[in-house]
Amino acid sequence: MIDQCRRGILDILRLSHLRWALMIALISLCGVLYTFVFDMRNGHVVAMVFANFCTMPLIVFERGFILRGLHARIRRLPTPTYFLSTILIYFVLAGLGFAAAGVLLKGTGQITGSWEDVLIIPPKTLAYTLILFFLGISVMRIRQLLGRDVFLSLLTGRYRRPIQEERIFLFIDLAGSTSYAETFGDLKAQEFIGAIFGGICEPVIRHGGTIDDYVGDAAIISWPLHPSRNSGRCDNAGRSVACVFDILAQIEADAARWQEKYGRVPQLRAALHGGSVVTAEIGVDHHKITYFGDVVNTTARLEALCKSVDRPVLMSSDLFDFTVLPTGIRAEPLGTYMLKGRDQPLGVVALEKI
């Protein structure tokens, strides 16, 4: 619990001051709009305070800073259940925020009236909040279905024209998925894979990654690759390694539950590689952000190599040169390998927990 709170605080501090300023300004604007809708011309400041106190608990909840486990479970729910559950939680959090704002404003003499008026959300405020909640939840659900970065990229048209950029790729694959399907059936196997993919979301978000795609029983995750000019190292490279081992540790911690519910504890293979790719938005009726280049193919081949060398986590030497390994992780050079589709051998490093 202490570690979770510490991670939450660090995550909050990582957000730029500009982003928080823009967020507060937008929320305050919604509060001012409320005063015009309901003809409350003299209550702009009060409305802005109420709006921020009602909304901030929802923002920190959605970013996983509080009630992280509950947030992760809700994200896995079907869309109708997701909507109902999220609205219920939002009303509880908004109600607590409204009450806190009421106590603050009444205590400082900014508002008068009975305690009931300042602690309980009025019906018109409830209706206004419900409309904003519905719009906000709809946008967030679309964002979840598409992925955070994909949603923003499609919205801004960033990749409408192909762009060359540097990215880190992590391929995670479920070992033995075919045998599992033969033993338990295709429906159970798909449920098993879905539960694994649902479980990796929280570590990926916490370490700043983006789940770009699911291909069969594999997930493709990426980070921007921006080496520091001073050190030549990339912070995201270290985060990608930490992400892998957090996922493995999470599965290990829940081994009894996996065995009881699915009859098997997931065994994952992971490969990390990075370099230059061309990123582009493709499609007309169905849009998608996709990556082109040798880096993606090499990462896939590297993941397949995990089985041959009997190592669960491999990293290319090219990416390892940019990486400061997290505490508790060590690397073992395995030499060079010729991978299918490449003319040059690739240096490979095995990673493991100490």
What is the average pLDDT value for the chain, to the nearest integer?
81
pLDDT of residue 220: 92
Residue labelled with tokens 């300023």: 21
The model carries a pTM of: 0.65
Between residues 316 and 202, which one has the greater pLDDT? 316
Residue type, 105: L
Q: Which of 166, 212, 170 is nearest to 302 (CA)?
A: 170
Distance CA 94, CA 111 (A): 19
226 pLDDT exceeds 90?
A: no
Say how many residues make up the chain. Answer: 354
pLDDT of residue 286: 60
Q: Which tokens in the block code for residue 69?
A: 């486990």
Distance CA 223, CA 226 (A): 9
Share of the chain above pLDDT 70, in %: 82
Average pLDDT over residues 165-178: 91
Among 28-32, 119-123, 179-183, 283-287, top mean pLDDT goes to 179-183
Between residues 153 and 68, which one has the greater pLDDT? 68
pLDDT band, very low/low/confident/very high, at 153 (cuts 50, 70, 90)? low
Helical segments of the chain, H only: 2-14, 17-37, 44-62, 68-75, 79-107, 115-119, 123-146, 148-156, 177-184, 186-206, 235-253, 255-262, 294-309, 317-320
C-beta separation of 87 from 95 below 8 A = no
Domains by residue range for the chain, with CATH: 2-146 (no CATH), 161-353 (3.30.70.1230)
Residue type, 304: A
pLDDT in tens, 264-304: 999 999 999 999 988 777 666 666 677 888 999 999 999 99
218 pLDDT exceeds 60?
A: yes
